[in-house]
Structure 1
Amino acid sequence: MEIKSKPVECPNGHYYNAALHASCPICAGAQGSGAFAPTEAPGQMGGGVGSFQPTEAPNRSGSGAFAPTEAPGQMGGYAGGVTVPVGSWNAGVVADPFERETSIGGDLTADGQVEPVVGWLVCVDGPVRGTDFRIHAGYNYIGRESGDIHIHGDQQISRQNHAMIAFDSSELTYYVGPSAGRNLIKVNGKTVLNAVEIHSYDVISIGTTKLMFVALCGEHFRWDVENSHE
């Protein structure tokens, strides 16, 4: 004769035949093998014995989880993780460590002494009309953005080393000539292909800019002779 009995539900939600088993055989088998009780459905936080919270989705900062690896080229912790392109710190030409810029009050030499001015270029026509530029002994390179003399705003002048003006302190002579610029330069309206000697009030044309030259040193004054102006 077959004995029928109503299935009994254990505390962990398993159903078993009480006529055949004194306790839940599923729970008893799990405890004997060291396995955990069934995990609850994802998203539920039950209070059952042995239940765990579901594992968080990838890329979330859960307990024991690692932060996602940053994409190549990113700088973690810097400016909110913004990617900094290689070379973006200085997109222009690397600065020449020996480059000298014209400054008000006289330039300083390596030993901290003021480097004497030997003449001037005065812009009489062009974007910087009315501006004067100091000339020093040796080579003075002219460019739109870098060099000894900067003529800003004239797009027909190369960024650097378009032309040069030089002073020979031993001969007390001044010269001007082309350097690495693409456009020609002129002195008093005549094209200059090589360095030529210049004198006070000569007009040098570079791009759309005209520069009047004014000399300081010469027959009446020179820096290497004390009290030469007396």
Structure 2
Amino acid sequence: MGPAVGWLAIISGPGRGQVLVLHYGVNDIGRGIKARVRLDFGDACIALENQAAIIYTAGSRRFYLQSIAAETWLNERPARGSAELMGGEVLQFGQTRLRFVPLCGPDFDWRDNI
């Protein structure tokens, strides 16, 4: 999986206070064991495998939310298709709300020669 590129912090709902690590590439979100970002804290409204995905690539140094299932919200609005994430956004899946916190981006990436 490699180093962390960002995090999702559960701010309300089942699992409140938990922090989930994001990695390079496609971070698929769901309750099931195959989900890279597993939200298995008791919210049955979250899809088992593919609720949504957060994508980060070193080439673009940008994060994107890809909505896959219904009941995916971004900043209190239904998420449709793909949306760029800048940092501080609130995502909601079922009854679970999460805050997006990037580490990598235009100013830093683990692949930089520092």
> TM-score scaled by structure 2?
0.92
Match 1:151 to one of 39, 43, 51: 39
Residues 1:185 and 2:72 aligned together: yes
Report the CA distance between 1:220 and its aligned residue.
Answer: 2.4
Q: Percent identity?
A: 31
2:94, 2:7 → 1: CA distance? 19
RMSD: 1.1
Deviations 1:105-150 (A, max 9, x none): xx4xxxxxxx111000000011000001110111011111221011
C-alpha contact (below 8 Å) 1:178/1:184 kept by paired residues: no
Q: CA deviation at 1:210?
A: 0.6
Match of residue 28 from structure 2: 141
Aligned structure 1 segments of 4 or more residues deviating by more than 2 angstroms = none
Matching residue within 197, 219, 227 for 2:84:
197
Whole-Å separation in 2 of the counterparts to 1:131 and 1:157: 16
Q: 2:110: which partner in 1?
A: 223
In structure 2, how many angstroms separate the alpha carbons of the residues matched to 1:199 and 1:211? 14
Q: What is the CA-CA distance between 1:184 and the residue it aligns to?
A: 2.2
**Structure whose residues are more often helix by fraction:** 1
Q: TM-score, normalised on structure 1?
A: 0.47
Note the 1:60-209 alignment, pairs <5 A. Answer: 107=1, 115-146=2-33, 147-152=35-40, 153-179=42-68, 181=69, 183-209=70-96
Alignment: residue pair count: 112
Task: Structure 1: state its 5+ residue gaps.
Answer: 1-106, 108-114
Matches within 5 A, 1:21-36: none
Provide the C-alpha distance between the structure 2 equivalents of 1:144 and 1:163, rounded to a whole number of angstroms: 11
Amino acid at match of 2:105: G
The AA in structure 1 aligned to 2:102 is A
The runs of 5 or more residues in structure 2 that have no matched partner are none
For 1:165 and 1:119, the matched residues in 2 are separated by: 10
Cα distance in structure 1, aligned partners of 2:75 and 2:45: 19
Cα displacement (A) at 1:219: 2.8
Preserved CA contact (<8 Å) 1:144 1:151:
yes
2:19 is aligned with what amino acid? Answer: D
Distance 2:8 2:28 in 1: 12
Q: Tell me how far 1:171 sits from its aligned partner.
A: 1.0
CA deviations over 1:170-197 (Å, ceiling 9, x no partner):
1110011222x3x321111111110100
